[in-house]
Amino acid sequence: MDIVTLTLAVVLPWLAGASVLLAIDPPRARAPGDAAWTIGAGWFAGVLLLTAWMRLLSLVGIAFGRASIAAPLLVIAVAGVFIAGRRQRIDPASSWRSAMATLRGADLSRAARLAWYAVLAWLLVRAVLLLVEIAWQPLYPWDAWIQWATKARVWYELGHIVPFVREDAWFAAPSLVYFDASPNYPATLPLLQVWANVMLGRWDDSLMNVPWWACGVAFVFVCYAALRRFGFGPLGALIGSWLVTSLPLANVHVALAGYADLPMAMFYTCAALALLRWLDERTIGRGVIVLAFVVGLPTIKIPGIAWALTLLPGALVVWFRPRGRTLLLGLAGIAVLVALILTRSEAVILGYHMHLDFAPAWGPVAESLFLLGNWHLLWYGAFAIAIIAYKFIFAPDIEPLTAIVFAGLFFLLIVFGYTNAREWVVEQTTVNRAVLHLAPLLSLWALASFARWRRAQVESAAPPTAVPAASA
Burial class (CB in 10 A: 0-12, 13-18, 19+), 107: exposed
Distance of alpha carbon 104 from alpha carbon 228, whole angstroms:
11
The Cα 171–Cα 237 span in angstroms is 55
Q: How many CA atoms lie within 13 Å of 21's alpha carbon, on the beta-carbon side?
A: 32
3-state class (DSSP) for residue 234: helix
* DSSP designation for 320: T
Helix (H, G, I), strand (E, B) or coil at 179: strand
Terminal-residue alpha carbon distance, the chain: 83
10-residue mean pLDDT profile of the chain (472 residues): values are 90 96 79 88 97 96 95 94 74 57 67 91 95 91 89 96 88 85 93 96 94 97 95 92 93 91 97 95 94 97 94 92 81 78 69 64 83 87 92 89 94 79 67 92 96 83 56 37
Burial 215-226 (b: 16+ CB within 10 A, else e): bbbbbbbbbbbb
Question: Which phi and psi (to 5°) does residue 165 adopt?
Answer: -130, 170
Secondary structure (DSSP) of 269-304: HHHHHHHHHHHHS--HHHHHHHHHHHHHGGGT-TTH
- DSSP-derived secondary structure for 340-386: HHHHTTT-EETTEEB---SS--HHHHHHHHHTSTTSTTHHHHHHHHH
Distance of alpha carbon 226 from alpha carbon 220, whole angstroms: 10
Residue 213 contacts residue 130 (beta carbons within 8 Å): yes
